[in-house]
Amino acid sequence: MLLHIPGVFSRDEVRRIRQALEQAQWLDGKVTAGYQSARTKHNLQLAEDDPLAREIASAMLERLWQNPQFMSAALPHKVYPPLFNCYTDGGTFGFHIDNAVRQVRGSAERVRTDLSSTLFFSDPDEYDGGELVIQDTYGSQRLKLPAGDLVLYPATSIHQVTPVSRGARYASFFWTQSLVREDSQRSLLYEMDQAIQSLSRDVPDHPALVQLTGNYHNLLRRWGEV
């Protein structure tokens, strides 16, 4: 399942974040790449312990924990702390699949990467190229979302960022270990939850809502890992 979640940050918030990112100290993005990925990764990245990165990441996760769409789709159990990158001057990241497990820097905690997320801090008209290309069962999806919007997709997907030939593409990315490992099961639960929410608005007293909600939680109980 690939999901577009709009407006995680407002336009004013994006503007302030962008100004801070433009003044930040950027490093070679290969510092967080595995051996295979490092061969095709050509971008800039903030250090994981950079105070600015931590500040924005904290605000971003706080927003997402309050976002019903993200919570319903991701069913998060653990999250790898968000990272920040910049693609400019031909920067690109060729086709790759994210590492299955990542260890949080300075911690013994490991996160299984069930889901990948990218939150854009540059608008599409501010740079040429830089599309996030995701290959899934329905073909290739090419994404350049408005600044402040997030895309959520299975980390099992082959994906790339095409070369940026003009401007700069600023973004944050992170991985989520879901309570439900299997993407098809998460998709089914998400669709069921959306139906429950819709019925709760339109026919809140319908007796079938109790049974449908019970079925949702019984499936989550069967498939969930804690």
pLDDT tens figures, 40-90: 789 999 999 999 999 999 999 999 999 999 999 999 999 999 999 999 999
What's the domain count of the chain?
2
Instruction: Clarify whether residues 41 and 11 are in a common domain.
Output: yes
Residue 96 assigned ligand-binding role: yes
Instruction: Clarify whether residues 214 and 114 are in a common domain.
Output: no
Q: How far apart are CA 220 and CA 57, in angstroms?
A: 28
Q: What is the pLDDT of residue 189?
A: 98
Residue carrying the six token digits 């790339």:
160
CA 158 to chain CA mean position, Å: 15
Q: Which amino acid is at 216?
A: Y
Residue 4 assigned ligand-binding role: no
Q: Give the side-chain half-sphere CA count within 13 A for 52.
A: 17
Q: How confident is the model at residue 33 (pLDDT cuts 50, 70, 90)?
A: low
Q: How far apart are CA 3 and CA 23, in angstroms?
A: 31
Instruction: Clarify whether residues 153 and 196 are in a common domain.
Output: no
Instruction: Clarify whether residues 23 and 84 are in a common domain.
Output: yes
Kindly report the average pLDDT of the chain as a whole number: 94
Instruction: Clarify whether residues 169 and 194 are in a common domain.
Output: no
68: left (phi over 0), alpha (psi -120 to 50) or beta: alpha
Q: Which domain holds residue 104?
A: 3-178
Give me the CATH number covering residue 215.
4.10.860
Q: State pTM to two decimals.
A: 0.92
Between vectors from CA 100 to CA 95 and to CA 101, what angle results, nearest 5°?
Answer: 135
Q: What is the pLDDT of residue 136?
A: 82
Residue 206 assigned ligand-binding role: no
Instruction: Clarify whether residues 111 and 196 are in a common domain.
Output: no
Give me the CATH number covering residue 7.
2.60.120.620
Q: What is the pLDDT of residue 36?
A: 57
Q: Which amino acid is at 172?
A: S
Residue 101 has pLDDT above 70, yes or no: yes
Q: How far apart are CA 168 and CA 145, in angstroms?
A: 14
Q: What is the pLDDT of residue 34?
A: 56
Instruction: Clarify whether residues 168 and 207 are in a common domain.
Output: no
**Better pLDDT: 183 or 36:** 183
Q: Give the side-chain half-sphere CA count within 13 A for 151.
A: 21
Instruction: Clarify whether residues 168 and 192 are in a common domain.
Output: no
